[in-house]
Amino acid sequence: MTNTIRQSHWENVYATKGEADVSWFQETPALSVELMELVGATPDSAIIDIGGGASRLVDALLARGFKDLTVLDLSPAALAASRKRLGSQSDQVAWIAADITEWEPSRTYDVWHDRAAFHFLTDRADQAAYVARLGSALRQDGHAIIGTFAPDGPEKCSGLPVMRYDAASLQKVLGPGFALVDSRRYNHTTPTGATQIFHFSTFRRVE
């Protein structure tokens, strides 16, 4: 899938569906917050949420006093939805409309969070581009929290094919520069009551 087609797809999704009408909607991103605590993130930590356009993780982190937050998504419509929801609080967040496979980081972060963005990259070149951006944007000893569909999770989402991972297969893609520190399965209940099985892997960037 080309970057243009990918962006067009997600713009259409967020332009035509309400926040709670998509399968990945979470009122409270409890596991993501728990993993932030696991890696020792503090209110002064620099955190970037990849593909977090309309996610409520940024709301939860702002409520906990986090001050250095960035949300990156290829859909301006998704980012606009979050900014509208947050109101004046949105001024406390850096918003980046970009395709992660083309984005050029201008700074580094302490925590890289990605819930359900990476698994849409089914092309090896796109996966390599993602890992290159991760390597550039995450500081030494920083942590990457990546949630994907588990090996027995859905094969498609939003009409698109996905890759499915456990900790070992994701480690293979990321390479030796990332050391696994935590691995867990997670059952996500969609707004319609269906269950989607995710796998969350947390890595520390090493030499």
Q: Output the domain CATH number for residue 101.
A: 3.40.50.150
Enclosing domain of residue 98 = 3-17+29-175
Judge whether 185 lies within some domain.
no
**Residues 52, 55, 60, CA angle at the centre, nearest 5°?**
110
User: What's residue 158's pLDDT?
Assistant: 78
Judge whether 106 lies within some domain.
yes
Judge whether 193 lies within some domain.
no
User: What's residue 18's pLDDT?
Assistant: 63
The answer to whether 56 and 28 have CB atoms below 8 angstroms apart is yes
The torsion angle over the Cα atoms of residues 151, 171, 122 and 195, rounded to 10 degrees, is: 30
User: What's residue 205's pLDDT?
Assistant: 98
Judge whether 198 lies within some domain.
no
E strand or H helix that includes residue 196: strand 195-205
As for how many domains the chain has, the answer is 1
- Give residue-wise pLDDT tens across range 53-92: 889 999 999 999 999 999 999 999 899 999 999 999 999 9
Q: What is the rounded CA–CA span in Å between residue 137 and residue 90?
A: 22
E strand or H helix that includes residue 77: helix 76-86
Judge whether 109 lies within some domain.
yes
If phi > 0 it is left, if psi is from -120 to 50 it is alpha, else beta; for residue 157 that is beta
User: What's residue 23's pLDDT?
Assistant: 57
Q: What is the rounded CA–CA span in Å between residue 124 and residue 50?
A: 19
- Give residue-wise pLDDT tens across range 147-186: 999 999 999 887 889 999 999 999 999 999 999 999 999 9
- Give residue-wise pLDDT tens across range 10-66: 566 666 666 655 655 577 899 999 999 999 999 999 999 999 988 999 999 999 999
Judge whether 201 lies within some domain.
no
User: What single string gives the DSSP state of each residue in 3-61?
Assistant: HHHHHHHHHHHHHHS-GGGSTT--SS-HHHHHHHHHTT--TTSEEEEET-TT-SHHHHH
